[in-house]
Chain A
């Protein structure tokens, strides 16, 4: 499987192409296909429809969270905000112990993002730029591990955790999330392109050891990709459900997802409270997306694989 990195969004090229071609080209209309063609009204209609579909459940979560439970059990369902938002958020926050859950999840996601970024960068650098025996085979193993379903490891991990008496402890959640084959792959792809060999050679001639090369050259060169990988890992760990759900009992030391899921599993569920909890569990990441959305999109597109 050969892999190449998609070049950064080539909208600049497209713009240049478009500028070169006069508006009324003598070439057939279809010659300007691909990125150079302007979207028509139908394209915009479809996009707006999908955008609404993407955002509607999120907005409606907020609407439902601002109502009271009785109003949600009526037709038609509410389409606009009520007045109970802050009360519901407050109750959900207390009921689900969300304060502690937020602290736990931020800690878990932060540690795992930092570890994944650092380990992936140095391993990715080795795979991208250093020659060593077994490089190809080891890289194949890395790619192969991306295919192993996490459910396979859940049972022995649970046994290990139970034996170590770590159930309900955060380290039980953190340790398996420290390693990411995708991260190694992602950084390798980035560094192949972003790190000129001459820079490493120059440092070598100056007598720098490998660790100094990593510290003074690789880390600075990889910083943009490290930021993206860090955010992606943070999002993924923040949203992880299966493993935290299994090792953290719902009253012990919950992550946000376990706490939010716990709200939905009470015997007399108050839907508006559940929605308030769901909203609280989603809001921090939506904020991250609102701020860094462009970079995250770019990162995902850059990590896209062409086999």
Chain B
């Protein structure tokens, strides 16, 4: 690395790196001492403040696009604000909250978000765990499986949802055709409550299972081999090894994926929006698969009540914090018990 000697800080005590012209004189001139002192001060400032300079772009942008909106949403949720005139705010206190809590569609959306979240997350993480376990074997072409399983991750919500709408079509869809071949009658994936929720969930499962499998695989590969060997010498079967070595070692990773998936599931929006044959934001004719994210959009952008939409957003946030606390408590209990 090239060093520009004019900006380099000469060590004060040892004369070694001092500039060549000064080496003739035993005592540095007054000007040089001032020069050195200045460099030394600049050096100190650099060491002290540059870390803050390095992290400040992130935090400035975060303040503008993360923290400020978070707080402002809370403020807006206490006002009546319409989409047509977003700067006209009229204080209404908690009325937005009481109104959405009185709204059956809110509770319906909350329930749907929960059930779709469970249908999408639980099988997804279980399958990801199984896949990771298999991928952890020595396999031919293991990179190929990993990349292929990650291909859905490269597909957008928009494209994936449109394809699944066709696959789940009632009359000409591939899935009903396959069911027909094995003697099961047509399922109305669009209009029946549970089938439609399953269909929406399947889009999420399809896109994220491979991704989560890779995360589990990474954690599994970090488990020391000798743990397995000593467990085996103690006579543990492979299943017991999985239960007593793999799972405990993976607990933090599992917790992480559960938290991330929960956050993702609480925000499901594009899938139910595009899965709707009526092209609306109601999540099906009977709101049978309207999620909170979709309900927020309907209140804010279709019905144009931004204040109420803000109240929904903050309610979602509070629910997530609650989920986070519950997760934390559970994980502490688990850690304490083991």
* Most chain B CB inside 10 Å of its own CB: which residue of A58, A258, A277: A58
Chain A residues within an 8 Å CB radius of B55: 122-123, 126-127, 138
Determine whether the beta carbon of B255 is less than 8 Å from that of A275: no
A60, B163: Cβ atoms under 8 Å?
yes
Which residues of chain B are near A13, meaning CB under 8 Å?
Answer: 225
Q: How far is the CA of A39 from the CA of B140 in the complex (A)?
A: 9
Which residues on the B side are within 8 Å of A258 (C-beta)? 158
B contacts with A: majority SS: helix
Query: Knowing A30-B232, A33-B238, A282-B155 touch, does A210 contact B1 (C-beta < 8 A)?
Result: no
Interface membership of chain A positions 64-79, coded 1 if the CB is closer than 8 angstroms to chain B and 0 otherwise: 1000000011111100
Complex Cα gap A271–B172 (Å) = 12
**By DSSP majority rule, is chain A's interface helix, strand, loop, or mixed?**
helix
Give chain B interface residues in 43-77, CB to chain A under 8 Å: 43, 46-48, 50-55, 57-59, 61-62, 64-66, 68-70, 72-73, 76
Measured CA separation A219–B77 after assembly (Å): 44
Chain A residue contacts of B269, Cβ below 8 A: 151, 241-242
Q: Answer yes or no: B235 CB below 8 A from chain A CBs.
A: yes
Give residues 9-67 of A contacting B (CB, 8 Å). 9-10, 13-14, 17-18, 27-28, 30-39, 43-44, 46-47, 50-51, 53-55, 57-58, 60-61, 64
Judged by a CB distance under 8 angstroms, whether B111 is at the interface is no
Q: Which residues of B contact A267 (CB under 8 A)?
A: 279
Question: How far in angstroms is the closest Cβ of chain A from B64?
Answer: 8
Closest chain-B Cβ to A123's Cβ sits at a distance in Å of 5
Q: Does B256 contact A (CB under 8 A)?
A: yes
* A274 located at the interface, meaning its Cβ lies under 8 Å from any Cβ of chain B in the complex: yes
* Smallest CB separation, B87 vs chain A (Å): 7
Q: Are B149 and A43 in contact (CB under 8 A)?
A: no
Q: Is the CB of B47 within 8 A of A210?
A: yes
Interface 9-residue window, one of B27-35, B99-107, B117-125, B213-221 = B213-221
Q: Please, how many angstroms separate the alpha-carbon atoms of A34 and B229 in the complex?
A: 9
Provide the residues of chain B in CB contact with A76, threshold 8 Å.
177
* Residues of chain A within 8 A of B86, CB atoms compared: 158-159, 162-163
Residues of B within 8 A of A157 (CB): 65, 69
Contacting A33 at CB < 8 Å: which of B5, B158, B228? B228
Q: Which of B158-186 contact A (CB under 8 A)?
A: 158-167, 171-174, 177, 180
B232, A31: Cβ atoms closer than 8 Å: yes
Cβ contacts under 8 Å, A123 to chain B: 54-55, 57-58
A244 CB to nearest chain B CB (Å): 10
Structural contact, A147 and B73, CB atoms closer than 8 A: no
A54 and B151 contacting across the interface, CB-CB below 8 Å: yes
Contact residues of B between 100 and 157, Cβ < 8 Å to A: 127, 130-131, 134-139, 143-157
> With A142-B58, A209-B46 in contact, do A36 and B225 touch (Cβ < 8 Å)?
yes
Residues on B with C-beta less than 8 A from A28 are 232-233, 235
B293 to chain A, nearest CB (A): 6
**Contact yes or no, A148 B66, CB < 8 A:** yes
Nearest CB of A to B292, in Å: 9
Q: Which residue of B lies closest to A204 (CB)?
A: B47
- Nearest residue in A to B152 (C-beta to C-beta)? A54
CB distance from B283 to the nearest CB of A (A): 15
Q: Which residue of chain B is the closest to A74 with respect to CB atoms? A: B172
Instruction: Provide the bound-state CA to CA distance between A274 and B274, in Å.
Output: 12
In the bound complex, CA of A155 to CA of B238 (Å): 51
Nearest CB of chain B from residue A26's CB, rounded to whole Å:
11
Nearest 6 pairs of A and B residues by beta carbon: A207-B8, A153-B69, A293-B147, A210-B50, A301-B218, A39-B137
A-B contact pairs, 18 of them (CB 8 A): A35-B220, A38-B139, A50-B131, A61-B159, A120-B58, A123-B54, A130-B54, A132-B48, A149-B317, A152-B69, A155-B300, A156-B72, A159-B86, A181-B58, A210-B51, A257-B158, A264-B274, A306-B253
